[in-house]
Amino acid sequence: MGIKDKRANIKHGRYSKALVLPASIEKGQHSTFAANRLMLVDPRGKISEQDLLEFLETYVEPNFWPWLKEKEASTKNE
């Protein structure tokens, strides 16, 4: 279904960092994204930034952190 990878953040300009998108995914002219601690990216740029942010804030962020804490707690108990 998806891919997973670890990428270096590359210095870009004076203050920014760039993340290089994997060659294996389809990309458009621009990418759209929403971010806080986690980042949700549409590399094709077909989903609006506002829709990505709404989804991130409504579904991803509230569910991810409890899931991660539960996973970490179960790992410590093993």
Q: Is the pLDDT of residue 1 over 80?
A: no
Instruction: State the pLDDT confidence band at 76, using cuts at 50, 70 and 90.
Output: confident
State the Cα–Cα distance between residues 65 and 6, nearest whole angstrom: 20
pLDDT at residue 58, rounded to an integer: 97
Q: Which residue has better confidence, 63 or 1?
A: 63
Which pTM was predicted? Answer: 0.81
Q: What are phi and psi of 74, to 5 degrees?
A: -70, -30
User: pLDDT by residue (tens digit) across 16-69?
Assistant: 999 999 999 999 999 999 999 999 999 999 999 999 999 999 999 999 999 999
Among candidates 68, 36, 74, 76, which has minimal Cα distance to 54?
Answer: 36
